[in-house]
Chains A and B, each alone.
Chain A
Amino acid sequence: MNHRSRITIGFALCLLVCLTACSPAAAPMEGEAPSASTEAITLVDALGREVTFEQPPQRIVITGRAHFMLADAAYCFPEASERVAGLSKSKQTDVTSFTELLDPNYEEKAIFDAETGAEDIAAVQPDAVLLKSYLANGLGASVEQLGIPVVYIDLETPEQYKRDFAILGQLFDDPDRAVALWGSYQARLDELAELAEAVPDAEKPRALVLQYAESGGEIAFKAPPASWIQTQMVELAGGLPVWEESVQGSGWVVVNLEQIAAWDPDHIFIISYFSNVNDAVDSLIADPLWQELTAVQTGQVHGFPKDFYSWDQPDNRWILGLTWMASQLYPERFQVDMEQEFYQFYETFYGLDAATVEAEIVTPLLEGNAW
């Protein structure tokens, strides 16, 4: 085949591919806008930007990395099922996602991939997009190029939860709900602050939080950085995070058994995002290399509970994780009925009754020694 034929065929192929892609474009989706108040709202988002809406947004899209944290916080507001028009799919479980359980209108929502682009978001015709603030230069910038307002929130630390609940309260035009939600967190934080103050540092239990990660038969243990909520939870629960001074970095840092033995903490909390945490804990306790650790000998290796999401992450459930952690560190001083706390959490935050929680969460999903 000479080069002229090759050029001709190549050009014809290109044209053919393009022509076969031609089809009448579907009409843009038209969402049904629930009735809403007509008052304009101006909120200040996590990046300190003022975002103004002529009226509370009626078609909100929640997407981007770690979107599930945003969605779980948004769905604490009853208005969310009507006003959320699209969200990304992501589950750390194999069963129905949490949002599907919460939202009776889930089937009508636009569901995006985790790495969706601005065009897919625009197709839903949102009037607001909720993103994590570190997406401001990437996806957020592209969405804002299209004239769609973006509200950035973080939800990474207790302080940010207080701020971001208020933002969500404005977004959903339900500030009282935001105050009530944060009030639940604040009450527990105050209680634990009192507990921690009453215990001198020398008597505080030394704790280590490790992520158990298995890949290709290899097991790695990772410690969280000082700035993350996992480290803060140990401090808030009245413990001393043994790794805080020596682990450097901005993300999970691999630590070997030698270092773990050098720390030899009183309590070890094992997190396992993608495998069964009970199995992970059992394997560690049975491992001869771990037998000399104080925490193993005293039975203080704890699997971090998880249901849809592990309770250690900066998802709404961190308050459950914190409560549970405090009950493990101070079983005598801080006696709490975790089972009751668990059911109360889902009722208070999401309006789920005990039977639904039992059937949809406890039975199929709950792992770790929650109670």
Chain B
Amino acid sequence: MKTYRPFLLLSASLLVILALSVLLGRYPTPTLMSWDLLRSDPMARRVVLYLRLPRILTACLLGMALSAAGMVMQMIFRNPLVEPGFLGVSHGAAFGAAFSIIFLGASGIWMQVLAAFFACLGLGLSYFVAKRIRYGGWTLRLVLAGIAVSALFSSTNGLLKYIADPLSQLPEITFWLLGGLSGTTWEKALLILPVVLSALALMLLMRWRLNLLALDDETVFSLGTAPARERTVLLIAAVIATASVVSVAGVVGWIGLIVPHMARRLLGSDAKRALPGAVLIGGIFAVLCDDIGRTAFAGEIPLGILTSLLGALLFLSMMVSRDQELKR
């Protein structure tokens, strides 16, 4: 029971935050909505049912997907600085979304397909380039390759922004690059729900293998595992989950980087515990950030800005923290 206590606490926290988020918003005033109002005001019920619920669900899925993807990538690439954004996944997905906005009329299904395709392409390119670099350790090579591929997609996004219609397309593309959930509907939420849940389920089911896959290939092979195949399966699940949420919410940074670290701090490095912990913490973090972004001011703060701000602050505090001692 002791080993499950953190998970129970995190799950309870997530449920409480989800419940409170349903009541939190700007209608009719920027506070918690009372139950009386929810019962008596049809508009309040519509606001909750059609605006807040799909948005909160999507925020939760986003946090969970990015955290899980970040944890998987950090363990497979043996690099604690990796997150989906660093390896060209997020920017590739954003490019796919921007491409569909400009050339395909921003159709929901095409946006997801193109986002997933270019996300996978981004990851593949980063991995390929890292393999070709002849100097430096694997960590350095991967980070360099990821920066280069992300920069490539960023520049092509800049080109798409240049040719976009500034009245209708450019604001939508800018929204993708900042990240946000303001236009979330049930249609979008239900479109990504099965994809993200499937990818999460796969990553969670294979979390025991992650500890092995974090080792070098010879060791993994000697333990009876096919490392290349299993890493590929996990990475595809991570990329698909990331691409799905990016296609709906845009580029939301730092969740995939900081939340895995928080989970490891709280629950240990064993992926058996850290991965589900990261999923829960990611959901909590994303929902809280979105609550602040949509409630604090009349003009909504893009989600990506808040996750970057709070994520960076948390990251800094963790880096300078003296809690972790080296055991000699």
Contact = CB atoms under 8 A, between A and B. Distances in A.
Interface in A1-23: 1, 3, 6-7, 11, 14-15, 18, 21-23
Contacts of A290: none
Contact of A120 (B37, B46, B298): B298
B298 A137 contact: no
A223 to B, nearest CB: 13
Given A25-B34, A137-B183, A251 B166 contact: yes
A65 B47 contact: no
Interface in A106-138: 112-120, 122-123, 125, 132, 134, 137-138
A336 interface: no
Nearest to A248: B163
Contacts of A139: 182-183
Contact of B32 (A21, A28, A252): A21
Interface stretch (B136-144, B168-176, B205-213, B246-254): B168-176
Contacts of B162: 249
Given A113-B298, A145-B185, A14 B266 contact: no
A111 B29 CA distance: 14
Contacts, number: 122
Given A117-B294, A250-B164, A138 B183 contact: yes
Given A3-B265, A138-B182, A26 B170 contact: no
Given A112-B298, A113-B298, A141-B183, A250 B32 contact: no
A1 B298 contact: no
Contacts of A252: 166
A147 interface: yes
Interface in B117-171: 162-171
A104 interface: no
A154 B29 CA distance: 31
Contacts of A115: 299-300
Contacts of B323: 1
Contacts of A66: 167
A25 B51 CA distance: 18
A134 to B, nearest CB: 3
Contacts of A116: 298-299
Contacts of A123: 26-29
B312 interface: no
A23 B299 contact: no
Given A21-B32, A117-B182, A251 B9 contact: no
A119 B46 CA distance: 10
Given A1-B323, A11-B9, A146-B50, A23 B265 contact: no
Interface residues of A, number: 45
Contact of B172 (A15, A114, A138, A145): A138
B226 interface: no
Interface of A: 1, 3, 6-7, 11, 14-15, 18, 21-29, 65-66, 112-120, 122-123, 125, 132, 134, 137-139, 141-142, 145-147, 249-252
Given A22-B32, A25-B33, A251-B164, 13 more contacts: A11-B13, A14-B288, A21-B32, A28-B41, A113-B297, A117-B300, A138-B183, A139-B182, A141-B185, A142-B185, A145-B50, A250-B166, A252-B166
Interface of B: 6, 9-10, 13, 16-17, 20, 24-29, 31-34, 36-37, 41, 43, 46-47, 50-51, 106, 162-172, 182-183, 185, 265-266, 288, 294, 297-300, 323
29 contacts: A3-B265, A6-B266, A7-B9, A7-B10, A14-B17, A18-B32, A25-B28, A25-B31, A29-B28, A65-B167, A113-B298, A115-B300, A116-B299, A117-B294, A118-B47, A119-B27, A119-B294, A122-B28, A138-B182, A142-B51, A145-B50, A146-B47, A146-B50, A147-B43, A249-B163, A250-B163, A250-B165, A250-B166, A250-B169
